[in-house]
């Protein structure tokens, strides 16, 4: 295991708005047809449970959703946010050591394996937690394929390249989504299906500034770690934030985050 990845995967405290703004319908819609009343579901790396809550509503009061996350502050906020859903339980736990008493019909994990240096080990762990015939669904990014139209300021292009380099240095996969089917196959999963799940944000949509602004948040929240580990200077980070904010308000037309859901059975 690459300890840098474990350290770098930790969610900074202080602002969970990017995670909170997500929902099952706006950020994991391809999963909806899989969800059935009464299912027992594990959501790994659930953050504040914003997506888990939608899953809990879909499986209904006869179902169970367990969300686990290694970030204590996110689980604490999620418990406050979703106290009205008795079928949803949020637990602070690391996925590699989580040891539930009962197995699951469905295990989902969105935007989490991209933060691991050993995604195959995580998938093997998930396989061990599924009931016979159980389903696994992983939603993840191809970060190298992100599209901005027109090109953002050079300062943000440089910040983004530093972000990719900082991640790769810790053993994280910048094309996680494209590599998932091969790993699934190696681990002996069946019925492997890949579903395109790009997030397309256009200037004309009301949430464009917030969504395109994800890279401001990354520069604000993750950027300091990148500065500390020598991947970008503090001056370059601050310039990227200022110039990108102006670009999002004035010059930006579209941003496409490239994602795929890869689904399989045991």
Footprint of ligand SAM (CB under 6 A): 9, 11, 19, 22, 45-47, 51, 68-71, 74, 94-96, 110-112, 115
Q: Are β-strands 64-69 and 40-44 bridged in parallel, bridged antiparallel, or unpaired?
A: parallel
Which residue number, 117 or 239, has a Cβ lying nearer to ligand SAM?
Answer: 117
Give residues with Cβ within 8 angstroms of 173, minimum separation 6.
Answer: 113, 114, 119, 179
Query: How far, in Å, CA of 261 to CA of 248, rounded?
Result: 28
Whole-number minimum distance, CB 246 to ligand SAM, in Å? 26
Q: In what order do the strands lie in the sheet with 147-149?
A: 147-149, 254-257, 199-202
Which residue number, 104 or 247, has a Cβ lying nearer to ligand SAM?
Answer: 104
Whole-number minimum distance, CB 46 to ligand SAM, in Å? 6
- In the bound state, the residue with its beta carbon closest to ligand SAM is 45
Question: Cβ(253)–Cβ(149) under 8 Å?
Answer: yes
Q: C-alpha angle with apex 149: 147 to 151, nearest 5 degrees?
A: 90
Whole-number minimum distance, CB 109 to ligand SAM, in Å? 7
Query: How far, in Å, CA of 38 to CA of 56, rounded?
Result: 10
Whole-number minimum distance, CB 250 to ligand SAM, in Å? 28
Residue indicated by tokens 């009301």: 206
Query: How far, in Å, CA of 134 to CA of 257, rounded?
Result: 29
Whole-number minimum distance, CB 45 to ligand SAM, in Å? 3
Which residue number, 115 or 159, has a Cβ lying nearer to ligand SAM?
Answer: 115
Tokens found for residue 25: 């319908």
Which residue number, 229 or 242, has a Cβ lying nearer to ligand SAM?
Answer: 229
Which residue number, 9 or 236, has a Cβ lying nearer to ligand SAM?
Answer: 9
Which residue number, 71 or 216, has a Cβ lying nearer to ligand SAM?
Answer: 71
Query: What are the residue ranges of helices labelled H in 140-186?
Result: 154-169, 176-186
Whole-number minimum distance, CB 25 to ligand SAM, in Å? 13
């Amino acid at each position: 295991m690459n300890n840098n990845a474990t350290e770098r995967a930790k969610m900074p405290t202080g602002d969970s708005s990017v995670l909170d703004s997500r929902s099952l319908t706006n950020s994991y819609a391809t999963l909806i047809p899989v969800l059935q009343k009464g299912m027992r579901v594990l959501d790994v790396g659930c953050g504040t449970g914003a997506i888990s809550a939608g899953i809990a509503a879909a499986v209904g009061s006869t179902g169970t959703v367990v969300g686990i996350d290694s970030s204590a502050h996110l689980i604490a906020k999620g418990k406050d946010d979703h106290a009205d859903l008795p079928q949803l339980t949020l637990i602070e736990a690391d996925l590699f050591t989580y040891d539930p008493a009962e197995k699951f019909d469905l295990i989902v994990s969105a935007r989490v394996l991209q933060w691991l240096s050993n995604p195959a080990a995580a998938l093997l762990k998930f396989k061990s937690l599924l009931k016979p015939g159980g389903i696994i669904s992983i939603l993840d990014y191809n970060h190298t394929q992100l599209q901005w139209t027109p090109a953002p300021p050079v300062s943000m292009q440089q910040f983004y390249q530093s972000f990719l380099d900082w991640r790769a240095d810790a053993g994280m996969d910048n094309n996680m989504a494209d590599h998932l089917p091969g790993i699934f196959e190696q681990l002996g999963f069946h019925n492997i299906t890949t579903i395109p799940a790009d997030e397309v944000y256009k200037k004309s949509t009301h949430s464009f500034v917030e969504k395109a602004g994800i890279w401001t948040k990354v520069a604000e929240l993750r950027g300091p770690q990148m500065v500390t580990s020598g991947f970008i200077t503090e001056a370059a980070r601050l310039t990227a934030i200022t110039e990108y904010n102006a670009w999002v308000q004035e010059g930006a037309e579209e941003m496409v985050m490239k994602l795929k859901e890869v689904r399989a059975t045991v």
